[in-house]
Amino acid sequence: AAIVTQDALDWIKQLNIGVVTQPNFIVAREQAYRQDIERDMHANLWRLGSFQTKEIPLAAGSDAPFGSFNPWQAIHAAIRRPDIFNDEETLSPEDALRLYTTEATNMRVQRNIKKGAVADLCLMHQSRSALFKDPTNAKVHMTLIDGKVVYKS
């Protein structure tokens, strides 16, 4: 969802579909967008808040290798977009993190963290508040998938 006009946003809502987007591009390609995209279209670039307002299911990916593999850079971009690109499209830190905890294959399913629920785990070195203050400094301590350690720093 690189450029989404209001008409396109309404159409997506009418079709009842979800969107997987790459929030990192608004920062990674900021200079190119400033030069190559007409200023009146900047507000339509890589929207996030508009999807949320319209209750359109939303998830995120990196589009690697064309973007960074690091989801924390995309979370940072979702929280703090460059000013020129419509800061009404930013998300809260919790909503930005939710872009990566939503099951992209079925974005309409509400996932819960509760006893007995199937879960993967990413254990961070920072507190939640420190992580949300600057996601680009995220340091992963350990990652578990299906209960097995797949990464440990």
Domain ranges, ordered by start, for the chain: 1-106, 114-153
Tell me: the pLDDT tens digits for 9-58? Answer: 999 999 999 999 999 999 999 999 999 999 999 999 999 999 999 999 99
- Residue 119 pLDDT > 80, yes or no? no
Could you tell me the two tokens for 148?
């097995």
Give the integer Cα–Cα distance in Å for 122 and 26.
25
Burial of 106 (0-12, 13-18, 19+ CB in 10 A): exposed
Helix (H, G, I), strand (E, B) or coil at 21: strand
Could you tell me the two tokens for 23?
């929030």
What pLDDT, on the 0 to 100 scale, is given for residue 111?
Answer: 65
Average pLDDT over residues 104-133: 79
- Residue 134 pLDDT > 70, yes or no? yes
Tell me: the pLDDT tens digits for 46-89? Answer: 999 999 999 999 999 888 888 888 899 999 999 998 877 878 89
Is the distance from CB of 76 to CB of 100 less than 8 angstroms? no
Measure Cα distances from 84 to 30, 39, 81, 126, 142 in Å: 9, 9, 8, 30, 37
What pLDDT, on the 0 to 100 scale, is given for residue 113?
Answer: 67
